[in-house]
A and B are shown apart, each in its own frame.
Chain A
Amino acid sequence: MKSLLWFSLFWALSINAVAEQQIKNFTSGSYEQIAKQYQDQPFVMVLWSLDCPPCYKELELLANERKRYDFNLVLISTDGADASIEVATVLMKYKLHDVDNWLFEKSSAQPLRYEIDPLWYGELPRSYLFDKENQRQAISGVLNSSQLSK
Chain B
Amino acid sequence: MKKQKSFRKLIGLLVSSIVLCSPTVAQSAGHKHSKQGAVTSTLCAKADSPASLKCGRGVSAVFDNKGRLWLAWAFAGHVYVNFSDNKGKTYSSPIAVNKTPEPIAAKAESPVKIVVDQQGKLFISWTMKLPKRFSGHIRFSRSIDGGENFSTPVTVNDHLEVTSHRFESMAVNDRGEVFIAWLDKRDLLAAKKAGKAYTGAAVYYTYSDNHGQSFHPNIKITDSSCECCRTAMTIDRDGLPIILWRHIFGKNTRDHALVKLIDKDLVGNVRRASFDNWKVDGCPHHGPSISSSDEGIYHLTWFNNAPERHGLFYAHTKDKGKTFSTAINIGNYKAAASHPQVLSTGENVYLLWKEFDGKQSSLMTMHSSDKGNNWSVPKVLLQSSSANDHPLLIHDGQQVYAAWHRRGEDYRLLLLQK
Contact = CB atoms under 8 A, between A and B. Distances in A.
B305 A82 contact: no
B100 interface: no
A118 B336 contact: yes
Contacts of B281: 54, 57, 141-142
6 contacts: A16-B22, A25-B31, A28-B34, A55-B282, A141-B281, A141-B282
Nearest to A110: B356
B280 to A, nearest CB: 4
Interface stretch (B3-11, B89-97, B368-376): B3-11
A-B pairs with lowest CB-CB distance, top 5: A141-B282, A141-B280, A142-B281, A141-B281, A81-B24
Contacts of B42: none
Contact of B336 (A50, A106, A121): A121
Contacts, number: 138
Contacts of B285: 52, 108, 122-124
A123 B305 contact: yes
Given A105-B31, A121-B338, 17 more contacts: A15-B19, A19-B22, A19-B23, A19-B25, A20-B22, A20-B23, A52-B283, A52-B285, A53-B134, A108-B285, A110-B361, A119-B333, A119-B336, A122-B338, A124-B282, A141-B252, A141-B281
Contacts of B31: 25, 27, 105
B18 A114 contact: no
A148 interface: no
Assign chain B's interface to a size class.
35 or more
B135 to A, nearest CB: 11
Interface residues of A, number: 54
A119 B305 CA distance: 10
B87 interface: no
Contacts of B333: 119
A1 B4 contact: yes
B303 interface: yes
Interface stretch (A5-13, A62-70, A129-137): A5-13
B380 interface: no
Contacts of A55: 282-283
A54 B26 contact: no
B181 to A, nearest CB: 20
Contacts of B282: 52, 54-55, 123-126, 140-142
Interface in B379-416: 387
A9 B32 CA distance: 35
Contact of B134 (A27, A51, A57, A105): A51
Contacts of A12: 14-15, 18-19
B27 interface: yes
Contacts of B19: 12, 15-16, 85
A33 interface: yes
Contact of B28 (A6, A8, A33, A126): A33
B320 interface: no
Nearest to A15: B19
Nearest to A119: B334
Interface in B335-383: 335-336, 338, 356, 358-359, 361
Contacts of A121: 284, 286, 303, 305, 336, 338
Nearest to B27: A25
Interface string B259-285: 000000000000000000001111111
A81 B387 CA distance: 16
Contacts of A149: none
Contact of A2 (B7, B22, B280): B7
Contacts of B8: 5
Contacts of A54: 281-283
A106 B22 contact: no
